[in-house]
Structure 1
Amino acid sequence: MLEATNKKANYTVLLAISLAHFINDALQAVIPASYPILRDSLHLTYTQIGIITFILYFSSSVMQPFVGMFADKRPTPYLLPIGMIIALIGMLGLAFAPAYAVLLAAVGLVGVASAVFHPEGARIAYLAGGERRGLAQSIFQVGGNSGGAMAPLMTALIFFPFGQFGAVWFTMIAAIGMMIQLWVAQWYRQHLLVGQRKGQSKAPASRFGQHEKKIKTAIIIILLIAFARSWFGASISTYFSFYLLERFQMTVPEAQIFLFIYMGAGIIGTFFGGPLSDRIGRKNVILLSVLGSAPFAMLLPHVGEIWVYPLLFLLGIINHSSFSVTVVYVQELVPGKVGTVSGLITGLSFGLGAVGAVALGGLIDLTSLTIVITACSFMPLIGALGLLLPSDKTIREWSKAVT
C-alpha cells in the first residue's frame, strides 16, 4: 500500500470520490426503495424480500476484502469505472425483470459493482486525506450515506408513481458516475506513479507478529460492533416502513418520510464523526456512537407516531457517527493493509448483517413485525464490547515501535 505523498488533504479528489460514493450507494439504494412496489408487482413474501436484501448485501460484501487484498498487492485504478458499468447493467435488469429469479440476478450485479468500488474508494480517501484521515473518511462516507438516504425519496417520487420500470432512469446516473470515476482513476494512477518514483511501492511492515493476538481481537470486536449496527440498520431500512404502515396505517410515501429523516440525520452524524475522532480519538467516538444510540433505539418501538420523528433523527446522527471512524481505526491498526481491512470492515460486516436481514424476514413471517422490531432495538447494546478495544494512544505506540 502506498502512503500519502502529501500531508495536506486533496479536497478536490475527496469531493470527487465522495460524489462517486453518492452515486454508487444511490444505485444500491434503488433496491430497498423498490421493495413496496416489488412486493405487490411480483407478489413477494417478507422472506423473499429478506432474500433480496441478503443477495444485495452478500454480493456487495463478501468480495470486498478480496478486492482490497488484490489492490493492496496490485492497485488497479480502472476497476472503479468498470464497477459502474456493472451497476448500469444491474439497473436495466431491475427495470425489466419479469420474474423473481431475474430480479435476484440484477440485484447481484448491483452488489458486485458496490464491492468493486468500496475498497478502492476507501483507499483513495485515505491517500487524499493526508494527515486528516478522520475528516477524509467522513467526506467519503457522507457521499455514500447521502446516496443511501435517497431510497425513501425514490420510493415516493419514482417507484410509487412509475412502478418497477422507474429503475431505468438510474442508468443515466450510472453513466455520470462512470465519468467521475474515470477522472478519479486517472488521479489515482498518477499518484501511484509518483509513489513509485519516491520508492513507496512496497507496503510498510504489518504489526502482525509482535501484537498479533491483540490486533486480531480488536478487529473481531470492530466486526461485531459493525455487524450489530448493520443488523439494526437493516431492521430500519428494510422493515421499518412496513412497521409504520401496519401500526399507524400510513401510506407508502408517508412512511418513507420517516426513513428519510433517519438517513438524512445519518449524513450529519457521518460528517461530524470523523473530524470529532481527529480531536478526541477514534475509540471514544465509537463508544459514544454505539452506546449513545442504545437508549433511543430501545424506546423507538414503544412511542407514539409524533415521537418517532425525533427518535429517528437522534438515532440517525448518533448511530452513523462512528461508521467512518471504525474504518479509519482499523486502517491505522493495520496500515500496511488499507485495502484489505477497508473491504473487511465495510464489506464482511454488512455481509453478516445480510444474514440477519434474511433471518429477520423469516422471523416476521413466523411472528410479527412488532416483535422483531422490538428485539432489534437491543442490538446497539453489543457496542459495549468497544470498551475492550485498544486505545488510540496504544495504537500510536505500536506504530512507533514498528517504525
Structure 2
Amino acid sequence: MNKPVIVSEEALAAPVLVPDPTSGSIARSAAAGPAYIVLGGISLSHFLNDTMQSLIPSVYPILKDSYALDFAQIGLITLAFQFTASLLQPLVGHFTDKKAQPFSLAVGMGATFFGLLLLSVAQQYLVILVAAALVGLGSAVFHPESARIARLASGGRYGFAQSVFQVGGNAGTAMGPLLAALIVVPFGQPSIAWFSSVAFLAIVILWRIGQWYKPQITTKKMAPPPAHPDAPSSRRVVIALVVLVALLFSKQLYVSSLSSYYMFYLIDKFGVSTQAAQLYLFLFLVSNAAGGFFGGPLGDRFGRKYVIWFSILGALPFTLALPYAGLFASAVLTVFIGFIISSATSAIIVFAQELMPHRFGMISGVFFGFAFGIGGLGAAVLGKVADHTGIAFVYQVCAYLPAIGLLAVFLPKMPRTAH
C-alpha cells in the first residue's frame, strides 16, 4: 500500500486547491512567479497606511499635556483607534471571501484621510476618540483585502509575499514617531493635517492596484478540495488556531506596551525629552520592521513552526532584562526585542491562512483584527495599571509575556501529498 509523501508545511495552501473566488488567478500567478510591482505597490500602501496610524500614539505626549489626560484616557484613545479595526476586519474579510472588492481599499483609505483632518482640529476628548476611530476604520477595510492581493501576487511564495507586505506596515509604524518628532512636536497638533496628503497618495496607489486586481478576479466557484488523509483534524485545526491567537496575544500585547508607553517610561525613568524619547521609540520600531521581513522567507524555507518558536521564546531573555537596564542598554535591548519578536507575525498569519485556506479573507481579518484589538485593549488595561502602580511596573509584568511561546508545541505539522 502506497503511503502519501509528506512535505513541509509551507506547501499546504497550494493555490490550485484554494476554493476562493481568486483561486484560478492565484494558480496562474504561481506559474508566472511573484508580481513584484504589485507586491511593491501594496507594501508601499501598507507603509503609508501604518505611517498615518502610528502618528496617533506618537502624539500622545502632546495630547496628554494639551488636554491634561491621564494614562487611562491615553489607553482609551488607543482602544477607540484599534477597536473599530478589530471589530470590522473579520466582517470585511468574510464579505470579501464571498465577493472581492477591488476598489474597497481606496474607499477605506478615505476614512483615514478624514480621521487625520479631524484629529488635527479636535479640541475635545470625544472628538479625538472619533478621529482615532475613523483611522481604525480605514485600517479595517485595508488589511484583509490587501493581504489577499499580496497572496495573489506571491507566485506561490506566500511567506515572502506576506513579509514584503508586513515590512511596509512595520516601516510605516517606525516612521510615525520620527515624523512626529520632526513635524508635529515643533508645529503642534494642527500639523497632523499635513499628513492627509499621504492618505491622498495612498488612495491613488490603491486605486491603481484595484485596476490591476479587478481583471484577476474570477467568479467561478470551486468545490472544496478533498481532505488530505494526514491533514490535521477539525479538532486539531481549532486547537492550532487558539494557540496561534495566544501567541499573537503575547507578541502584540508586548509590542503595544512599548509603542504606547515606552516614551513615558524613558521620560519618567531617565528624564529624556519628548523628542529624544520618540527617537528611541523609532529605533525599536525600525528593528521591528526589519525583523518582520525575515520571518516569512525563513518560514518558507525551514517551516513556520520553527520561526514561531524562535520568535516568541527568543525574545524572552531580552524582555526580562529590559526593566533593569540603563538608558543605552535599554535602547540595545529593544532593538533585539523588536527584531526577534516581529519575525513571528508573517509566520503566524500564513500558518493560520493555511489551516483554513477556504476562509482566507475571514482568517486574515480575524488575525489582523485580533492584533489590533489586543493592542487596543492591552493599551487601555496597561494604562490603568500604570496610573496605579507606575509605568516601570508595567514593563516588569510584560517581560514574562513571551513565555506564552511555549504553547507552540501544540501546533500541528502541515502535510500534503507530493505530486
Fold match by TM threshold 0.5? yes
- Between the aligned partners of 2:279 and 2:246, the Cα distance in structure 1 is 30
Question: Residue 29 of structure 2: SS of its match in structure 1?
Answer: coil
- Between the aligned partners of 1:371 and 1:207, the Cα distance in structure 2 is 49
Equivalence for 2:174: 149
Q: 1:108 aligns with which of 96, 108, 133?
A: 133
1:244 and 2:266 equivalent? yes
Q: How does 1:25-104 map to 2 (within 5 A)?
A: 25-104=50-129
Shift of 1:322: 1.2
Equivalence for 1:319: 341
Shift of 1:20: 0.7
- Between the aligned partners of 1:66 and 1:158, the Cα distance in structure 2 is 36
Matched-pair contact (CA < 8 Å) for 2:232–2:412: no
Equivalence for 2:29: 6
Structure 2, gaps ≥5 residues long: 1-19
> CA 1:207–1:173 in structure 2 vs 1: closer, same or farther (change >3 Å)?
farther
Question: Residue 62 of structure 1: SS of its match in structure 2?
Answer: helix
Structure 1, gaps ≥5 residues long: none
- Between the aligned partners of 2:237 and 2:53, the Cα distance in structure 1 is 32
- Between the aligned partners of 2:45 and 2:232, the Cα distance in structure 1 is 38
Question: Residue 72 of structure 1: SS of its match in structure 2?
Answer: helix
Greater shift after overlay, 348-357 or 25-34? 348-357
- Between the aligned partners of 1:206 and 1:290, the Cα distance in structure 2 is 34
Deviations 1:216-237 (A, max 9, x none): 1111110111111111011100
Shift of 1:316: 1.1
Question: Residue 64 of structure 1: SS of its match in structure 2?
Answer: helix
Q: 2:314 aligns with which of 289, 292, 303?
A: 292
Matched-pair contact (CA < 8 Å) for 2:112–2:135: yes
Equivalence for 2:254: 232
1:357 and 2:376 equivalent? no
Equivalence for 1:396: 415
Equivalence for 2:204: 179
Matched-pair contact (CA < 8 Å) for 2:162–2:296: yes
Equivalence for 2:9: none
Equivalence for 2:366: 344
Deviations 1:286-336 (A, max 9, x none): 111000011101111111112112211111110111111111111111111
Equivalence for 1:135: 160
Deviations 1:84-117 (A, max 9, x none): 1111000011000010000100100000000000
> CA 1:161–1:210 in structure 2 vs 1: closer, same or farther (change >3 Å)?
closer
> CA 1:36–1:210 in structure 2 vs 1: closer, same or farther (change >3 Å)?
closer
- Between the aligned partners of 1:140 and 1:131, the Cα distance in structure 2 is 15
Question: Residue 240 of structure 1: SS of its match in structure 2?
Answer: helix
Shift of 1:42: 1.3
For 1:106, give the aligned amino acid: A
Structure 1 ranges of 4+ moved more than 3 A: 201-210
Shift of 1:132: 0.6
Matched-pair contact (CA < 8 Å) for 1:331–1:338: yes
Question: Residue 396 of structure 1: SS of its match in structure 2?
Answer: coil
Shift of 1:43: 1.3
Matched-pair contact (CA < 8 Å) for 1:146–1:267: yes
Shift of 1:353: 3.0
1:158 and 2:189 equivalent? no
| Aligned residue pair count | 392
1:18 and 2:7 equivalent? no
1:376 and 2:398 equivalent? yes
Deviations 1:190-231 (A, max 9, x none): 110xx34xx4x4474596998211111111110111111111
Question: Residue 6 of structure 1: SS of its match in structure 2?
Answer: helix
For 2:90, give the aligned amino acid: P
Deviations 1:219-277 (A, max 9, x none): 11101111111110111000111010010000011111211111101111111111111
Matched-pair contact (CA < 8 Å) for 1:232–1:376: yes
- Between the aligned partners of 2:223 and 2:161, the Cα distance in structure 1 is 21
Give the TM-score normalised by the residue count of structure 1: 0.94
- Between the aligned partners of 1:113 and 1:344, the Cα distance in structure 2 is 16
Greater shift after overlay, 252-261 or 234-243? 252-261
Matched-pair contact (CA < 8 Å) for 1:207–1:334: no
- Between the aligned partners of 1:203 and 1:120, the Cα distance in structure 2 is 22
Greater shift after overlay, 105-114 or 145-154? 145-154
Matched-pair contact (CA < 8 Å) for 2:55–2:177: no
Shift of 1:17: 0.4
Q: CA RMSD in A?
A: 1.7
- Between the aligned partners of 1:121 and 1:358, the Cα distance in structure 2 is 28
Matched-pair contact (CA < 8 Å) for 1:124–1:188: yes
